[in-house]
Structure 1
Amino acid sequence: MADKLTPQQRSANMARIRAKDTKPEMLVRRMVHGMGFRYRLHRKDLPGKPDLVFGPRRKVIFVHGCFWHLHACRDGRIPASRRDYWAPKLQRNAERDAEHLAALRAAGWQVLIVWECETKDLAALQSRLAEFLETEE
């Protein structure tokens, strides 16, 4: 069983979790830049403030953490403890993601979501990014 953390330790851990410049996001940014694509970061005028925005192409990329955005992988599960707290919080994140996705698509943007677990297979990730960014639609 995992070590129990005091409320202060748990708070310190949670305070270190970032919304921007996460390891998976930085990896995707470096990969896309290395492929020769240029982008803007976190445009506030777009729904959900996408992580990478390719304005002239009308394409955006979100890099989602599996836990925070309830991905279907092993890491996207709701914690067993304090389900009454975590379930609504994480469900609302997923609902908000769907709202942002719908709004972007309605405005004519193409959207790619890269999940944190997908950053472990770099070759597959690079292929997926290239396919998304190089296709004209």
Structure 2
Amino acid sequence: MADIVEPEVRSRMMSRIRGRNTRPETVVRSGLWARGFRFRLHVRGLAGQPDIVLPKWRTAIFVNGCFWHAHANCPYFRVPKSRSEFWQKKLLANRRRDTAAVARLVEDGWKVITIWECALRADAQNAIHIADDLIRNADSPRWEISQPPSDRTSCHASSPLAGKEDI
């Protein structure tokens, strides 16, 4: 299927998609700040440049968009119909890069929390509450906060990850 807009328009649209300071990221930062957490943003010295780094708690937080990070079983993710081969390749590469960055952080002794966009859409305050609890109390080094596929009004945390790579 051909694109419905001209290439110049599509290029302009795509160039406006931000990788930092996105709405989901600012929601999480505001919520954590209100709960007393102090953090660094996009620390270049850490694998994957986590969106939020809490050095005191040795915790790295990634706030992932469901589309760009190919969130499996999520109602907000689907492979585009146009140029689907290109998108499958790109999104799979994103997932592999994410997996490698998380593995490296865990290997270096960091606790890693991934907060998915769907969890924030379902219940941002609950997602932030779960993140707060994981930062302070979690014993496992790897956690994900997402929306259960069957419930569009809540979010939950899970660990360890299954690590699927199919899109």
Q: Measured at CA, do residues 90 and 136 of structure 1 come closer, stay the same or move farther in structure 2, by a change above 3 Å?
A: closer
Corresponding letter in the other structure for 1:110: K
| Unmatched 5+ stretches in structure 1 | none
CA distance in 2, matches of 1:122, 1:83: 31
Specify the alignment match of 1:110 in structure 2: 111
Task: Judge which range, 113-122 or 124-133, deviates more.
Answer: 124-133
Bigger share in helix: 1
CA distance in 1, matches of 2:37, 2:105: 21
Specify the alignment match of 1:11 in structure 2: 11
* 1:74-131 deviation per Cα after TM superposition (whole angstroms, max 9, x unaligned): 2222111101211111100000000001000000000000111111212321221111
Native 8 Å contact 2:57 2:136 kept in 1: no
Specify the alignment match of 2:102 in structure 1: 101
Specify the alignment match of 2:128 in structure 1: 126
Corresponding letter in the other structure for 1:55: P
Secondary structure at 1:21's aligned position in 2?
A: coil
Corresponding letter in the other structure for 2:94: N
Give the structure-2-normalised TM-score. Answer: 0.77
CA distance in 1, matches of 2:91, 2:10: 18
Corresponding letter in the other structure for 1:104: L
Task: Judge which range, 114-123 or 65-74, deviates more.
Answer: 114-123
CA distance in 2, matches of 1:125, 1:35: 13
CA distance in 1, matches of 2:76, 2:97: 19
* 1:15-62 deviation per Cα after TM superposition (whole angstroms, max 9, x unaligned): 000110000001000000011100000110000000110112111100
> How many residue pairs end up in the alignment?
135
* Structure 1 runs of 4+ with >4 Å offset: none
Specify the alignment match of 1:47 in structure 2: 47
Seq. identity, %:
41
Specify the alignment match of 1:25 in structure 2: 25
CA distance in 2, matches of 1:77, 1:109: 31
Give the structure-1-normalised TM-score. Answer: 0.93
Secondary structure at 2:29's aligned position in 1?
A: helix
Pairwise CA RMSD of aligned residues? 1.3
Displacement of 1:136: 6.0
Specify the alignment match of 1:87 in structure 2: 88
Specify the alignment match of 1:66 in structure 2: 66
Secondary structure at 1:91's aligned position in 2?
A: helix
CA distance in 1, matches of 2:119, 2:127: 7
